[in-house]
Each structure stands twice: as structure tokens, then as C-alpha cells.
Structure 1
Amino acid sequence: MATRVEQLLAQSVADSIPETPHGSPSIAPSLTYSESADDETEIEDPQQETRRPRRASTRLIVQSPADIQRITGETTSQLVRRCCGGGCCLDLEARRKEGVEYKSVDLPDNEAFRSLLLRIDEVPTRLTNIADLPEQTAFLYPLRKPSSLPSPRGSASYLGVGGDSVVDTSDAEEVLQKLSLEDLDTTIQPPSFVQPHPPHHVFPARIYNCRELTRPGAEKRTFHFDLDVTDYPPGEFVDFKVGGAIGVSAPNNFKDVEEILDLLLVPRFLRDKPVLLRTTKGRWPTVWGDDKARELVTTRRDLLTWCSDIQSYPPTKQLLRVLGEYATEENERQLLLFLCSAEGQGVFCDFRTGPHISILQLLHAFPSAKPPLDVLLSVLQPLMPRFYSLSNDPHDSFEKTADGKQRRLIEIAVSVHETADFRTGTRTGVGSGFFQRQALKFLEARERGEKEPDLYIPMFKGLMANPLAKEFVSDGPMLLIGAGVGIAPFRGFVQRRLKTANCANKVWVLQGVRDSLVDELYSGEWGVHEDEVKRVVESRRGPGRYVQEEVKQQADLVWYIINSVDGRVFVCGSSKGMGEGVEEALVEVAMKKGNLGREEAKRFWELKRDAGQYIAETW
């Protein structure tokens, strides 16, 4: 016997022409249609893969027992046997064991160490289960040109590569050509071996224009970028799509990289000098390359700038073990080894879940720890691309320059993410911080009178099967729900819809903001019918309401759209607060309008998600 949910779904498919919502009057905005609009459809990629579920854009820290061992230094079985899960290991007094001798340790006297908030008074004189020193997988060797003198090994010339390593060759010129830096400006783009995935190459897109979308007083600054992709390399089988995303290979802050090299005592004359990198296994320093050994020529600065993440991940026991191994001050070494031991597990757990800690902060906190750069690179996490949704219709975005040339532009919006910093109070994320630095440089250059500042964004066509772009269609009613920068891709949806609208082609936008006077993104830029298309919900101005409350208020509209042929409900924004609240509001709408129980209502939206009618892209 068919369930109530299945009956509702069958009925929604059978209704070829949905009825206009009725009952209590809805305060939903209406839509004015364009009689002259063309009925266009999205051209699907010829090699597009079949649809599959995808995680939200969150950073996954642990997904296997190997990840747990990498972070904690213990296997899952060891951790389960020793930990009861009650949090008693965080109790300083409870950690003391009878018969165990403790001693005082002088704590480093610097602001960086104090900012770690380590609750350490005394440590055991004998530590057990100290994490093993991790395997070194990256090795740096100096390059030495072959001598013009006869080779002592006979007719074959050779190229010495650090230590006792020797590379035999019958043609020194050919070897030198392979072991030389590529002619690439790595101040604006990463080395070519950081290629995200064939055939996608990182392309330095010039910033054509930039402006700040938020006003003074907004909690988060948001910048809009127009990127010139006219000269994007041809030959790739995908194009920019409405609601799609681009990948950005954002570098670490150049100042932070320089400071880390200073703290590690890497001589300045060596930082940009060609060096041979040999890896024994893994994907690093590529992004999604094969797991294999590699040999390539690069520089120390490029590896630390483009290939290793120096701030996004909490420190692991492997990283602390390396710092402890190379710490020359005994008190620093004891503290670091304590954090890597079974006795220090509680402090370590508290340490990882406390203030956001970067490798730069650790090097300042334990100033005598100066591991070799290649040893440090072996334990740092790879620097991964960041993805940003397009905020325009890329099929119809061109600009004519003063010299009459036509440039193709794509547009994105980036909100600056900030976390605590031990020196400046706050610091920005890798991606958003890079965008903010580029934006401020651009705006300053424009104030100086420069018409085309020489600034770039290293980007590539997004590899992800972006659900927003994948499920966008030119027919059927559509409800777009977003808050913050999550509203950006919907601007492109509306631009496309208003050009292809017909009598059955409706679109509504529910935009959540804190205060429309300071952080309403793209106000006045949605098209000629913006007032009829978009409703803004303010949480910190006037009576104060959240977008999920407006979803429940618009129950008739939601139910009409989701049960229409080709009807779509899109949700985009932060999963905390907005995403969770909207999901709960949609469940309540289904309970009210469909006369369903809570579990049936949840199942209803799950089936709509599987059918591609309910799409939530949250992070």
C-alpha cells in the first residue's frame, strides 16, 4: 500500500499544470514576466557524469582510522581501550596517578606560548606511548652543474645531487634542461605541477574590476570581483555555467611564508634558488595527482607558498613530535613530547579544540624548535584549492574596453573569514584573506589613478559537480533561499530567468541579512523587477526575523513550487543557523500543508532531494 508521502509525490508528477497557491493570502512577492524573452535551455556538458550525492562544502578532518592515528598518534583500538569518553582526561587532578613522579617545567616566556592556553603545571618524569617520529617523505637536494673536467667515472658524466646521490647521464645538457626551473611567474600563479586535474590548468585571471559590497559596520566584509577570462586556455570540455563554481589556488600569505623561513633559519639566498624535490610517496606537492614518488625542480619559497597549508588545520601529534625532536631547549622539548604522549592526551585534546593555532604561532611559542624545511613539509597538510560560486550569468557577461576590444568576464563574491590570532587579534583565512589583500591593492591602485592594476587571481574551471548549476533549469517555478554570501549564485539564476521568462516561469528570492543598510549584497542589481522578485529578511533591524521564519510564512508558495512540474527549491549559505533553520522550516511546511508526520515530512524532502527538486548547498 502506497504511503502518504508516495501518494503526494505521484500526485505532484501527474499535475502537469500546477495551480496557483490559494487559501490564506500570501505575502510572497510576485513576478512580472517578459513577453519577448527567448525560451533558452542550459546546454549540458557532453561528458557530464551521472548525478550522485555530494557532501556540503565543509572541511573533512577525519574519515578513516588512518586519519585518527595521524592526528592522535594512536590507533582507534588503543584510543578506545584507554578512553572512556567521559572527558575525565581533561581534569588536571584526575590525570595524576599514584606512584607516578611529576616535575615542574619552565614554560616558555613569550606571548605566542601564552596564547596557546596550555594548562600544564607539572609533567610526569617518565612518558609512555610517545608518538613515533613520522616518516620523512620529502627531501630537498641542491643542484650542482656538471663539471667541464673529465669525469672520474669514465666516459659517462654525472650530476651530483646532494649527499652521496648521483644521477648518471650521457648528455649533461639534457639532464640540466629537465632539472631546471620552468619559465613561470610564481608570484601570480602556482608552479605547473600544482595542476588541479587534467585537463584543468591554473590560469592567472586579471582582476578587471573590484568593489566592496558591504558597508562600514557589517560583521563580515564582502568583496565583488570581475575576472577577465577572455584568454582562458581553450581545449577544456566544460564551460562556465549559471550557478557554477570556479576553483582558486590561493597562496599562503607571502609575509607569513617569509617569517616562517626566517624562523627556520633558511638563508635568504637559498629561498628562491632552484632545488631538487624528491618525494617517496603520496600526492603532495600536486593537488589530485597519483600516489607515487616524484622528482621535480622548484624553490623552497614556492613549496611553502603554494603547496603546504600553514594555518587551516589544528596541529597533529606528528607535527608536535617533529618540533620536539628538533627543539634545542630542554623545557620546550619536554612540553612538546608531553603533548605527544599518553599522559598528555587530555591536554592535547584540549589544545586542539582551543584557539585556532597555526604553524607560525607554534614556531614563535617554541622558538628553539627549528626542523629542516623538508622534514616540516613532510608533516604539513597540502594546500587545497578553494571554490567560489559565480554570481552572474557567464554566458552573457562581456565588457568593451576603451580600445574597442571585447572581454569576457565572470563574477564572484567573497566574504572574508576571520579567526583569532595571537598577535593581531584576528587573521583571515587562506582563500578569503588572499582575496581581501588583492581587493585592497586593487582599490588603492585605482585611487592612485591606475586604470588597469596588474593583479591576478589564480583560478580554474570548477571540477565539482556543483548541484546548484546541475539542477538549474529554464522552466518551472523556482524558490531561492540564501543568506550572506550564499545569495551570490542566485543573482546569476535570476539574470538568466528574467531573460527567458514566460507565463509559467516564476522565480522568487528570500534573502536573509543582518542589516540591509550595511550587508545586503547586490541590492539593486537583480534586474528590472527586483522588488517583485526578491524579499529581504533582516535579523538585526526592525522587529528582527530570520529567513527560516519567512519560509514558514511563505508556506503556500513553498508547497506550490515543490509540487510543480520542474519546480525547484534552492538553499545556499552557512549550515550553522541558516541551513539548519531552513531545513527545519521546510519540514514544518510539509507537515502543515501535506498533513504529514515529522518523519514522513523528512522523507518527503529526502525524495525531493533525490529527484533534484530540493537542492541545499551549505557549508
Structure 2
Amino acid sequence: MLRPMAIRTKTTSHCIPEEPPVDNISPRSAVPSLTSNSSADEEEIPKEPRRRRASTVLISQNADDARRIIGESGTRLIETCCGGGCCMLAPKADSQSFEYVPLPDNDAFRGLGLNLGQLPKKLTAIHELPPKTVSLSPVRDTKAPAIVGADPDERPFNPAVDQSIDFTPHTAEIDEKLQHARTPTSSEHPPKFVKPHPPYEVFSAKIFNTRELTRAGAQKRTFHFDLDVSDYPAETGVDFKVGGAIGVQAPNEEEMVEEIMDLLSIPRVARDRKVLVTTTSGRWPTIWGEDKPRSLVSTRRDLLTWCADIQSYPPTKALLRVLAEHTTDPNERKILTYLCSAEGQGKFCDLRTGPHLTLAQLLHAFPSAKPPLDHLLAVLKQLMPRFYSLSNDPHENCVPVKGCSRLIEIAVTVHETESWRGDRTGLSSGFFERQARKFIAAEKRGEKPDLRIPMFKGLMSNPLAREFISDGPMLLIGAGVGVAPFRGFVQRRLKSANCANKVWVLQGVRDSLLDELYSGEWGVHEDEVKKVVQSRTGVGRYVQEEVVAQKDLCWFVINALDGRIFVCGSSKGMGEGVESSLVQVGMEMGNMSRAESEEFWRLKKEAGQYIAETW
């Protein structure tokens, strides 16, 4: 009789090699079971460890094994990842208690975007109150000496001598000419101690003409300015250059300054009164003065208008700590202190990376916070100058019969950000737009406006000015207002017949009918030297895509004797995109790998043949 055969199954588990059985397993080495026995009198039966495949190796069985492998604790890993100060590093106490804190009921606080629930009662690592490095005191003694080593412009105010101050810098040769000229007011020109380009003072440039370059319906507004620099004082070894950039010391908006003084409850009679400003250290409020204690005379309005940036930077813990220290409402104090603590680090990061904030919004959000102005000035950022590239050849003078002998031209695009009151313009671009609107409105009324721009020449050593040459092929790639300095390049190059066929422009715009800048103002050969690339109409192509399409031209220019490729515009998208396109051109035209092409363009940048000025 035949014996029945075993049925084969599809599994292959019987073929997997296993570790040999372990004999004499001690009960102490067995992993304890998580299930409890029904009877305490029953003896625990040790279980054999789960058998593993012989091809696997057990490297971690518990937390100690993991620490030996990692080499550092989990908290240390988080600190290495984010650089410290992360909200995940906040101490977590098991016995931490929380409380509900009523939130300020106003639009400014809701605009902060803080989603606060219950706040912990106990806070740790609260930011220390910053030292008070600035003090304001009444001017009583008119003969009080200045601090030893102070600049002449930093002496205490003497009403017997300083009845009027001429803020406009000028040389002895033009003193007689300026005797009858209008002196700019303190709202038009910064105090003399504000020197972004020491030892030279800020120059009050008169707006000779202004116009809007973009048309109605454009996504961004851009204005052109002609500034009269006929009387600009001579500075040794420095002159306006093609592609150079001027500095503009734009003030804070008058309405915003007035609003902040209202929120701080500064009496109106004291806002324009002379005060003695004493600092313990630092450069403030001179911008680039020596780092030293100083004593000077100014007014509260001038300090807020010209020396403190009240809208461009996200809030710091030092600022919030000062607000918390001088807040009378206990709930507002708890919220501000929470944002300055380790437990509130996450919400503080949300505050800095969320909607764009201004000092006025913070004071509206916490209405009981009324810190002294001097303590507030000690934690606010210095109001710094903004730089704008020249959009013309500065060596071309205007017609003298029109009232000036030398003009410089710039183009300014107005930047807007969302705020709790709607769209808000940038500090400097908003100032330019307000001046342009006033000028255009005055001309429509038949008036001759006298509006000023506080500016200075600077060193004229930005990349575009430094690397410009008068010969050799040149490819200019720009988008938006970044194309403005190239207009001066073309004006200079087209003066020479030998250079007429050696300059090309790739201009990126959204819609040429709305926002093409300086259309028809590039010279007689404009159609031959410039190509406009539209991203929102027609085929829809970005300027970086046109770079690849013009790869033959790019490769010719960069390999020619004295060849230059200039790129100017926003670094977000456009600047990075153009560089990536140039790398692709090198790969296709030079038969290079990506790494070789990136190295090729890096060497061209070091040699001054590939120049990128982005922001």
C-alpha cells in the first residue's frame, strides 16, 4: 500500500535558514511579557526569543542601544538641525499649568496672525530687558561742552548761534549762489549728523522732472526721476559713473511718525522741541560715524523721521521686551512676555515670518504699551540709505537754458506689501512715489514745484560701474527695473560707431504694452540692440528662457576678447534662472558636464566677464 504524499505549499518559509536554537536560556534573560497572569501563584513560563533570519543582524533593541548608535541625545539632534533656539527645545514640565488670557480686541492684534490658545503660567528663559543706551534730556545749559572727541556737528544746541542751520552741503565757490536759495526744512532733509558717506554730508537734490514709466493696469508702478546735481560739491577722486548707484536717505512717512508719537502720548508741544541726545556707545544716529559715546542736539520728530526704521524689519525680542516692560495692562504684559520666553519661541517665529509688521501696528495691537522714546530708540534698527542705479550716462549734461547744467536719472519701482490696513508701500519707494505724485499734481496746476531728494554720490564702486568698459561685445540681461542701468550702458556705447554692433539687450517684461520701461529711449539702433521678452502675453516666455534660445550669442560674447555679460534684477526667480540658463548654455555649446559648466561660469565671474547685480 502506497503511503500518501505530503501536499506541497507555495510558501518558502521552510527554506529560510534560521539561527540554531539557543539552549539553557535563563529566565532572567527572557523579555518580560506585557500580559499579566490570571493567578499570582502560577510560575511565569519564560518565552523563547523570537527567532530571526540568519541573514539579519540585531543592532538596536532598546533606548540605550539607540543612544550608542546615534552618539547624542534626541535634544542634541534637534539643536544640530535648527541651530538652537527652536521652539522644540523649550523645556516641557509634566506639571506645567496653563491659563486663558483674554486677547486684545482690536484689528491691529488680529492682523498679527497670532493663534494663541492657553498660555503657560510659568515661563522660562525670558529675554532680558535690553540696556538703555540712548537718553533724551532737555537742553538747559547752552554752554555745556560736547563729549571729548565729538564731531563739530554734534555739539549741544546754542540758540545764540544756531538759529538756522543750512543742511545743504556746498563749497565756498557756490556760497554766494546759495545765499538766496531755499533752505530745505527738517522734513525734507536729514540733520547734519546723519552721514551715510562720511565725511561728506547728504546733498539735497532738486527734482528737475519726473514721470511714470508704467501704464495703467501694470502690476507694479515705476517712476523716472531727473535729479539736478549741478551744484553737487566736488569729492576727491569720485565722480558719477555709468552703471553707478547713488544712495538715498529717505525719511519715514510724516503721517506714520505723527501716529507713533500719538500712540506714545508724546505732548505735541514737545515733539519739535530741542533735546540733548546722549548715547553710551555705537554709531547711532550717525549711520557710519565712529563707534563711541556721543552727545548731540536734535528733536524727537527728527529722530523718528531720519534715524529709526519703523517699518522695514520684523520685530525683535528686545523690542517686545521693552513693550512688555512698559505695558500697564496685565493681559497684554503676559502675551508680550510669553513671546519673549522659551515657551513662546514658536509663536515668536510665526510673528517674524508672518505678515509684514510696523512699529505703529504693534503699538495699536498693545495699546497700553507706552515705552519712553529713548528706550524705544535704543532697540529700533538704524534707518539706512537705499541705493538706486543710474539709468543714464551721467556725463551727458542737460541744456543750460532749461535751468540746470547736469542731471542724473534713476528709475524706482514701488514695492507694496499687505498690512492690517491694506497694501502698504516700502519706505524708500513710497517716499519716491509721494514726491512724484506731488510734482505731477503741481505741474498740472501750472505751478513750478520745488521738491527734493536727499541723496549722496557714494563710492560708485558697485559691480555694474566697476566692470563697465567702453569696448568689447556686451550682452545685457535684465527684468523689470533691473534693465534701467543698461540704458546708460547703451547710451555710452552707441556714441562710438565701432561699438554700435557690439551691445545687445534682453529685456524681460510682463506685458510690453503696460510695463516696458524706456520704450523708444535707447538710441537710434534700438530695434537692433534690444529684444523684449513678454511673460504674460503671447507665447509667454521668461528672460531666462530667452537666454537659452540665444545661446549662440551668449557663447560668442563670453568667449570674445573683453566680452561681458551683465545681469541685473531680482535674485528671486530671475537671477537664479538666468544663471541656471547660462550653465545650460555652457553644457550645450561647450560640450561640458553640469559641474564643468558651473565651474566655467564661476571663473568668468572671478575674471569680471560675468557680472550679476541682483537684490
Q: Same fold (TM over 0.5)?
A: yes
Out of 446, 453, 460, the residue aligned to residue 457 of structure 1 is: 453
Q: CA deviation at 1:195?
A: 1.1
**How do residues 381-420 of structure 1 correspond to structure 2 at under 5 angstroms?**
381-402=381-402, 405-420=403-418
Are the aligned partners of 1:274 and 1:297 in contact in 2 as well (CA < 8 Å)?
A: yes
| 2:44 equivalent in structure 1 | none
**How do residues 115-130 of structure 1 correspond to structure 2 at under 5 angstroms?**
115-130=111-126
Q: CA deviation at 1:99?
A: 1.1
| 2:105 equivalent in structure 1 | 109
Are the aligned partners of 1:250 and 1:431 in contact in 2 as well (CA < 8 Å)?
A: yes
Q: Determine whether 1:301 maps to 2:301.
A: yes
| 2:371 equivalent in structure 1 | 371
| 1:574 equivalent in structure 2 | 570
TM-score when normalising by structure 2:
0.80
2:353 maps to amino acid: T
> Which of these two proteins has the greater Rg computed from alpha carbons?
2
- Which secondary structure state, in structure 2, belongs to the residue aligned with residue 347 of structure 1? helix
| 2:435 equivalent in structure 1 | 438
| 1:479 equivalent in structure 2 | 475
Q: Whole-Å Cα distance in 1 between the matches of residues 157 and 424 of structure 2?
A: 46
Q: CA deviation at 1:397?
A: 3.1
- Which secondary structure state, in structure 2, belongs to the residue aligned with residue 585 of structure 1? helix
Q: CA deviation at 1:407?
A: 2.4
| 1:542 equivalent in structure 2 | 538
Structure 2: runs of 5 or more not aligned: 1-74, 147-154, 168-184
Please say which of residues 236-245 and 260-269 is displaced more in the overlay: 236-245
Q: Whole-Å Cα distance in 1 between the matches of residues 382 and 163 of structure 2?
A: 23
- Which secondary structure state, in structure 1, belongs to the residue aligned with residue 442 of structure 2? helix
Are the aligned partners of 1:512 and 1:536 in contact in 2 as well (CA < 8 Å)?
A: yes
| 1:513 equivalent in structure 2 | 509
| 1:527 equivalent in structure 2 | 523
Q: Whole-Å Cα distance in 2 between the matches of residues 534 and 462 of structure 1?
A: 30
Out of 494, 499, 512, the residue aligned to residue 498 of structure 1 is: 494
- Which secondary structure state, in structure 1, belongs to the residue aligned with residue 309 of structure 2? coil
CA 1:314/1:80 → structure 2, altered by over 3 Å: closer, same or farther?
farther
Q: Whole-Å Cα distance in 2 between the matches of residues 213 and 359 of structure 1?
A: 32
| 2:197 equivalent in structure 1 | 197
Are the aligned partners of 1:89 and 1:346 in contact in 2 as well (CA < 8 Å)?
A: no
Q: Whole-Å Cα distance in 2 between the matches of residues 457 and 173 of structure 1?
A: 27
Q: Deviations over 1:249-287 (max 9, x none)?
A: 000011100000010011111111111000000110011
Q: Whole-Å Cα distance in 2 between the matches of residues 293 and 415 of structure 1?
A: 38
| 1:555 equivalent in structure 2 | 551
Q: Deviations over 1:454-496 (max 9, x none)?
A: 1000000033521101111111000000000000000000000
Q: Whole-Å Cα distance in 2 between the matches of residues 241 and 138 of structure 1?
A: 39
**Number of residue-to-residue matches in the alignment:** 515
Q: Whole-Å Cα distance in 2 between the matches of residues 389 and 86 of structure 1?
A: 37
1:264 maps to amino acid: L
CA 1:80/1:505 → structure 2, altered by over 3 Å: closer, same or farther?
farther
- Which secondary structure state, in structure 2, belongs to the residue aligned with residue 398 of structure 1? coil
Q: Deviations over 1:220-255 (max 9, x none)?
A: 100000000001122442111101010000000111
Q: Whole-Å Cα distance in 2 between the matches of residues 501 and 135 of structure 1?
A: 64
Are the aligned partners of 1:214 and 1:519 in contact in 2 as well (CA < 8 Å)?
A: yes
Structure with larger RCO (C-alpha < 8 A, sep 6+): 1
Q: Whole-Å Cα distance in 2 between the matches of residues 543 and 203 of structure 1?
A: 46
CA 1:174/1:325 → structure 2, altered by over 3 Å: closer, same or farther?
closer
| 1:57 equivalent in structure 2 | none
Q: CA deviation at 1:360?
A: 0.7
Q: Determine whether 1:614 maps to 2:594.
A: no
Q: Whole-Å Cα distance in 1 between the matches of residues 505 and 106 of structure 2?
A: 51
- Which secondary structure state, in structure 2, belongs to the residue aligned with residue 532 of structure 1? helix
- Which secondary structure state, in structure 1, belongs to the residue aligned with residue 495 of structure 2? helix
CA root-mean-square deviation: 2.5
Q: Whole-Å Cα distance in 2 between the matches of residues 139 and 91 of structure 1?
A: 35
1:420 maps to amino acid: E
Q: CA deviation at 1:159?
A: 5.7
Q: CA deviation at 1:189?
A: 1.0
| 1:429 equivalent in structure 2 | 426
2:361 maps to amino acid: Q
Q: CA deviation at 1:188?
A: 1.5
Q: Whole-Å Cα distance in 1 between the matches of residues 119 and 265 of structure 2?
A: 30
Q: CA deviation at 1:558?
A: 0.4
Q: Whole-Å Cα distance in 2 between the matches of residues 373 and 181 of structure 1?
A: 26
**How do residues 150-229 of structure 1 correspond to structure 2 at under 5 angstroms?**
182-184=165-167, 185-229=185-229
- Which secondary structure state, in structure 2, belongs to the residue aligned with residue 615 of structure 1? strand
Are the aligned partners of 2:547 and 2:578 in contact in 1 as well (CA < 8 Å)?
A: yes
Q: Deviations over 1:45-66 (max 9, x none)?
A: xxxxxxxxxxxxxxxxxxxxxx
Are the aligned partners of 1:247 and 1:463 in contact in 2 as well (CA < 8 Å)?
A: no
CA 1:321/1:503 → structure 2, altered by over 3 Å: closer, same or farther?
closer
CA 1:310/1:98 → structure 2, altered by over 3 Å: closer, same or farther?
same
